[in-house]
A and B are shown apart, each in its own frame.
Chain A
């Protein structure tokens, strides 16, 4: 064994040193899916269609979201409310509302264009499925159920709303708050990673 090899032992120890250092550091890995990361306040995930307090749909089927959509992912077909079956305030409601989530680029333009704040992007991102067809979300999956505590204006809903989520209605979304988003802030992780890369 030459001197050169002894130097290599030093390098080996140095390398293992890094390993042991990180062994005792706080781990960024979380136990997904039992724990989930908290998202950035304006994270753009799965859409949902909201309701007013009296249970009426906010969406009036105006198709502004579908016309502004850069990915052409939204299809809306309007219809007229009948006095017997009033779905939304006013005359018009969306008889069909479909979003192709495979096509969607989650830019949030639909949210911007919506004149009634009906469509919002929730932090929910888990949409994987085995069939392409199941990525076409229609009203039965987009519209929040009437019992979901809907109805108040975006800023004063029951149980409060985490201010950092902005106007995204976590309490109304289909995301279960019990399962929590108590993991590390996404921002924090990003910061750590940037730091690590710099070093």
Chain B
């Protein structure tokens, strides 16, 4: 950027020095001179459609649009001259010819660019005597977005967002003249992972979120800026609260380093669980098979007594699982407390992910854009880290990066970008572009074989950047804070304890006396989960794990507590409690719980300043000696078929047994999405995918419904996993390996998450109702 030529342009008498080629509207921003725009957006560049940014440039006979005029040396611009004001006024008058004046019921009212500009630059009255053109209001575009056709000013920001940023091209411009309107291609529902962004892009109230329609007005909202903790990307977001309820979330447009100014729909819309009636509001203790509500003091006494007794006998019989969903401070204090009691069995890995710190090659999210090739291993970032997926799309669509996926059982890459599917590492190496300068490896953190062998075989000379997407938002922070059985805070070596799998194995053998689980649901995501003699769970809801516990403690959610979190790229980001959000009176944050427990156990914890300093110190250090798939992290849980004939079951139909592959979907997670009525429509249906050959052999087609029975499973699978799946929608998917069945993990009513590696067979095939298909296609 040093050799960039600077030019001087005079805007309203103030000289500005900017790089040559800067758009005039950006140059004006440097002297805090705002030029009104509708179609222009910093991330998408100019379109030159809306004509509202007219300015007067000396030497040019007519007014020019500031968004699509590059500055030249010596240019003299007037944004406030009479001529410019006249031009803007005329453009605004045309905008308002057909724009309805329903500001009182419009969700954008109060933060609307048309309203603001009409006040600032408009003439204040209409010369039009004809009635306004009437168009449909509240047009349902899809599960998330409603379009008001009357209000649309056809700036095409949403269309260009779909085209340039997301690449899905679902929104199009339809018809001509006064009937010119936004619609979805072929009238299909507007559905991808980033639809909510168009409501923010829309300068008027044409595109609105279903979850926020008429809930509030902008001036009612109390705004807090915090970090989204739904996935490890860590997008910065505004949380807007009214009457104690989260009404909406908004992206930060200038968050270039992490979210690039966008939010995914999961992060944006899955915020309605805080006031769900199913929330645990009081400590619950299981007595004689039933739950009783107890006070915090009793709960802490029971918990502390169990830990104290077990520690007195053998500290190795105490285990802690969790930390990946907590803040850095909470994870730090949690391990501090238990290490002080001599407990070494600490692990954040409550799911199938085994590693979160990419080690010395870890790259930033911005670096991803400048890679020549991006190799995806395991589950794609499209389903695990959607906003990171936008960077992958940007690299592929705008910068021509090559996207290669290794051995994925998934359907084609769920983004409309050119991607290459290969089966082996050797093939992937062959498909790499010639002389790559920078290669990114994006791994889901589960199965390390491909990642480690790929790292070894990559061509020398190329810079390799590694990324680990994952299941838990602060997994990397938890690792740095020492929530690992073999590492202390700051990745130092610790006295080795049991990892999660070993803890559950010990629990099965009756060797684990006390198991404390913080913000994790291993019963949902791990087939080998087993409860200890005394199990305490801190969570927001009665999760599958909590139901198996002895003591359930009401925790606070991420918008209800303050601290820091670490994203996948190692950035330390603030988590702030949302202003005026109503929290159940008896809920404690995990930090408060750990502090109270430490008091009962007589452990002295470091004071807040020491914790903050320790967190920053440990996170500033990159784990230099880690690589992808480091051997110390062990292997993921993979079930092996049972050797015990008693546990084997007969195949019911045709005798074909399938290996289960569990796949993540953005909205497929249980947990918070199961308790959010606002996003129920976005959750995928429970489905089962087969290869075409297997489907032909079974005689099923896409659209049929099937049930599954367990054929053979590992010995470790507990009885509560026997319910495998009912009413699964069949999808015949090209490219699936034969003999496998892909299920969606984490659905509230699909217990498939912990079946990875199990063998199932198909039963009770029900055909898709033929009359239903006819009803769709048949003319009336």
Contact = CB atoms under 8 A, between A and B. Distances in A.
Given A60-B104, A62-B105, A64-B104, A92 B214 contact: yes
Interface string B197-222: 00000000000000001111101100
B102 interface: yes
B interface SS class? loop
A180 interface: no
Interface in B66-109: 102, 104-105, 109
Contact of A79 (B102, B137, B214, B217): B214
B94 to A, nearest CB: 25
A70 to B, nearest CB: 15
A67 interface: yes
Interface string A80-119: 1000000000111000000000000000000000011000
A51 B217 CA distance: 23
A67 B137 contact: no
A78 B107 CA distance: 10
Contacts of B214: 61, 78-80, 91-92
A21 to B, nearest CB: 59
B257 interface: no
Contacts of B105: 60-62, 78, 90-92
Contacts of A79: 214-215
Interface in B127-158: 137-138
Interface in B207-264: 213-217, 219-220, 243
Interface string A29-65: 0000000000000000000000000000000111110
Interface in A106-153: 115-116
A52 to B, nearest CB: 16
A91 B107 CA distance: 11
Contacts of B102: 90
A62 B220 CA distance: 12
A77 interface: yes
Contacts of B220: 63
A79 B243 CA distance: 14
Given A63-B220, A67-B219, A80 B104 contact: no
A95 B318 CA distance: 52
A92 B138 CA distance: 11
Interface residues of A, number: 15
A89 to B, nearest CB: 10
Contacts of A64: 104
A65 to B, nearest CB: 10
Given A61-B214, A80-B214, A115 B243 contact: no
A62 B105 CA distance: 5
Contacts of B137: 91
Nearest to A93: B214
A78 B247 CA distance: 12
Contacts of B138: 91
Contacts of A115: 104
A174 to B, nearest CB: 26
Nearest to B214: A78
Q: Which of A60, A64, A80 has the most CB of B within 10 A?
A: A80
A64 B104 CA distance: 7
Contacts of B104: 60, 62, 64, 115-116
Nearest to A114: B104
A77 B243 contact: yes
B217 A67 contact: yes
A77 B138 CA distance: 19
Nearest to A78: B214
A63 B217 contact: yes
A78 B109 CA distance: 13
A115 B105 CA distance: 10
B215 A78 contact: yes
A115 B101 CA distance: 11
Interface string A5-27: 00000000000000000000000
The 7 closest A-B pairs by CB, nearest first: A62-B104, A78-B214, A92-B105, A92-B214, A115-B104, A63-B217, A60-B105
Interface of A: 60-64, 67, 77-80, 90-92, 115-116
Given A62-B104, A63-B217, A77-B243, 6 more contacts: A62-B217, A63-B220, A78-B215, A79-B214, A91-B105, A91-B214
12 contacts: A60-B104, A60-B105, A62-B105, A62-B109, A63-B217, A63-B220, A77-B215, A78-B105, A78-B214, A90-B102, A90-B105, A91-B105
